[in-house]
Amino acid sequence: MSRVKAYLSAFRMRWKMELQYRGAVIGGVLCQMFFGLILVALYRALYAGKPQARPIEDVVTYVWLQQAFFRMLLSSDGDLMDKIRTGSIAYDLCRPLSLYGYYYARIMAQKLLGSLLRAAPMLLFAALLPRGWGMALPSSFPALLVAALAVGLGLLCVCAIENITMAFTMRTLDSRGMQAMLNLLMMTLSGNILPLTLFPDAWQRVITLLPYAQLLDAPIRLYTGEWALWQAPRVLLTQGAWTIILLALGLMLWRKNQKRLVLQGG
């Protein structure tokens, strides 16, 4: 139990640090609001010319939720990257902790608080917009609950993905190339750039099974009711399976890394 306390403490610490950057939050919210509006206008124009199978209200809600939880996807801990690059990771290696768990807690704090701080004002703003521009209510109350649970699982997934990136950083020492590539993949396959609901049906069958679709796409579909409640167990199971696979993969990579470790900078 006391072990858990250490990880919780690391989580709290990173949470505190995140609270220090209030300016970044305000900037992020404004930026995401702007992107949200542009994207909504874009899809409205598309629908005006050629209506799609999904109703426009669903697509608009999809866009706002993606923008509100943007920080859950696209954020990485610069401190951690620096630690690996300069060798300060040495200190973390002489703690009686699992390094994987320690970093997982940090990453989770950053992603959770980062997205909550931004999501609250964003969703309020989106809810106040007129119908067809703003966010719609969930299809039902149970759907909201299931969607919230799914976001939780998505968060576990995305932190595991981030930790795998981190493990690779320990080999390549510079995360930028790797991150640029992975981020593009993530933003496309998670539905942030173009809602996955607008992809051709045949593609969707494959894409929705990939890990990136588990992060936000699955929760949003549960929220809008595109996926009905009876489908929820299947969705949650898929998410759970990916969480376990990604966690196991990350743990394995970290364990391997620790064996062949070289510290940078003397």
Partner 1 sequence: MSYITVTDLQKTFTVRKKREKGHLTREKTLVQALKGVSFSVERGELVGYIGPNGAGKSTTVKILSGILTPDGGQAEVGGRIPWQQRKEHVRHIGVVFGQRSQLWWDVPIADSYALLKDIYQVPPQQHQKRLNELTEALDLGSLLRTPLRLLSLGQRMRAELCGSLLHSPELLFLDEPTIGLDAVSKLALRDFLQFENRQHGTTILLTTHDMEDIAALCSRVMVLGHGSKLFDGSLADLLSRYDTQRIISLRYDGDCALPPLPAGCESIREGDGYRITYAPQTVPTAQMLSLLQSAGPIRELTAQPQNIDHLIADMYREMDL
> Least separation, in Å, of the C-beta of 196 and partner 1?
37
Smallest gap, in angstroms, from Cβ of residue 93 to partner 1? 5
Structure tokens at 166: 């981190």
Distance separating alpha carbons of residues 41 and 43, to the nearest angstrom: 6
Shortest Cβ distance from residue 6 to partner 1 (Å)? Answer: 5
| Residue type for position 220 | I
Cβ atoms within 10 Å of 87's Cβ, excluding its own: 14
Distance of closest approach, residue 169 Cβ to partner 1, in angstroms: 18
The site string for partner 1 over 204-243 (x = CB under 8 A, - otherwise) reads: ----------------------------------------
Nearer to partner 1, 91 or 141 (CB): 91
Nearer of residues 8 and 128 to partner 1, judged by Cβ: 8
Looking at beta carbons only, is 96 or 130 nearer to partner 1?
Answer: 96
Give min distance, CB of 15 to partner 1, in A: 10
Question: For the packed helices 99-128 and 78-86, what is the interaxial angle rounded to 10 degrees?
Answer: 150
> What is the distance of C-alpha 6 from the center of its chain?
24
Query: C-alpha 86: how far from its chain's center?
Result: 27
State the virtual CA torsion across 231, 153, 158, 33 in degrees, nearest 10: 80
**Of 86 and 140, CB closest to partner 1:** 86
- How near is the Cβ of 81 to partner 1 at its closest, in Å? 14
> CA separation (Å) from 249 to 148, 165, 192, 215, 244?
26, 11, 25, 17, 9
Q: Which residues from 3-22 bind partner 1, rule CB under 8 A? A: 3, 5-6, 8-10, 13, 16-17, 20
| Closest to 167 measured CA to CA, from 238, 84, 66 | 84
Cβ nearer to partner 1, comparing 53 with 262: 262
Minimum CB distance to partner 1 smaller for 148 or for 174: 174
Q: Is 173 in the site for partner 1 (CB under 8 A)?
A: no
Q: Which long-range contacts (CB under 8 A, 24 or more apart) does 21-24 make?
A: none
Residues 39-98 contacting partner 1, CB under 8 A? 79, 86-88, 90-91, 93-97
The residues, any chain, with a CB within 8 Å of residue 206's CB and separated by 6 or more, are none
Question: Is the separation of the CB atoms in 243 and 156 below 8 Å?
Answer: yes
Q: Which is nearer to partner 1, 13 or 120 (CB)?
A: 13
Among the listed residues 119, 121, 89, 118, the one whose alpha carbon sits nearest the alpha carbon of residue 106? 89
Distance CA 152, CA 168 (A): 25
Pick the piece of the chain touching partner 1 (CB under 8 A) from 28-36, 202-210, 232-240, 257-265: 257-265
Which residue ranges make up the site for partner 1 (CB under 8 A)?
Answer: 2-3, 5-6, 8-10, 13, 16-17, 20, 79, 86-88, 90-91, 93-97, 259, 261-263, 265-266
